Amino acid sequence: GAVIRGDYGYIRIGSDCSIQDNVVIHCSAEDPTIIGDGVTVAHSAVVHACRVGDECLIGVGAIIFDGARIGKHSILGVGSTVLGGARIPPRSVAVGAPAKIIRRATDKDVRLIKESYRAYVEMGRRYATSGVYKKPVFLGD
């Protein structure tokens, strides 16, 4: 599962987000973690004391460090690292360690971001209303 640890400060996760397996979201005493609406944070990413704008896609295993800012409609590639204090402007595609902007996000990229989070939100709604969920059974019950 994901770990969301607000022991030092404030974490805000917007609506319609997909926070996937093994993601770690943490904050610091100096910087909150704020994730905008419609963000997909893919498996094993680390989002630490930073801000991620609306409708972004954070790739598998990506890391975002303290004080960094990811602008709206941006894509951070698989395994990329955004160093502390770095700024990724809106509509950017950034990759590498440290992450570097390789191009501007196209309209097609923005559609992909929206399709991604909307598909996960819809899957969650279907699951929640399907009756598949069962209360966990514990030994001794």
Fold (topology level) of 3-130: UDP N-Acetylglucosamine Acyltransferase; domain 1 (2.160.10)
Mean pLDDT of 14-40: 97
Regarding pTM above 0.85, the answer is yes
Specify the pLDDT at position 96.
99
User: Is 136 or 50 the better-scoring residue by pLDDT?
Assistant: 50
What are the two backbone dihedrals, phi and then psi, of residue 32, each rounded to the nearest 5 degrees? -75, 170
Extract the tokens encoding 114.
């929206």
Q: Is the pLDDT of residue 138 over 80?
A: no
Alpha carbon distance 82, 98 (integer Å): 6
Alpha carbon distance 109, 113 (integer Å): 6
- pLDDT tens-digit profile of 81-120? 999 999 999 999 999 999 999 999 999 999 999 999 999 9
Specify the pLDDT at position 112.
96
Domain boundary assignment for the chain: 3-130
Specify the pLDDT at position 137.
59
Specify the pLDDT at position 126.
85
* The CA-based dihedral angle spanning residues 29, 46, 134, 136, taken in that order and rounded to the nearest 10 degrees: -70
- pLDDT tens-digit profile of 33-89? 999 999 999 999 999 999 999 999 999 999 999 999 999 999 999 999 999 999 999
What are the two backbone dihedrals, phi and then psi, of residue 116, each rounded to the nearest 5 degrees? -60, -60
Q: Is the pLDDT of residue 133 over 70?
A: no
Do 23 and 7 contact (CB within 8 A), yes or no?
no
Specify the pLDDT at position 20.
96
As to burial, measured by CB atoms within 10 angstroms (0-12 exposed, 13-18 middle, 19+ buried), residue 55 is: buried
* Closest listed residue to residue 99, CA positions, set 136, 69, 126, 127: 69
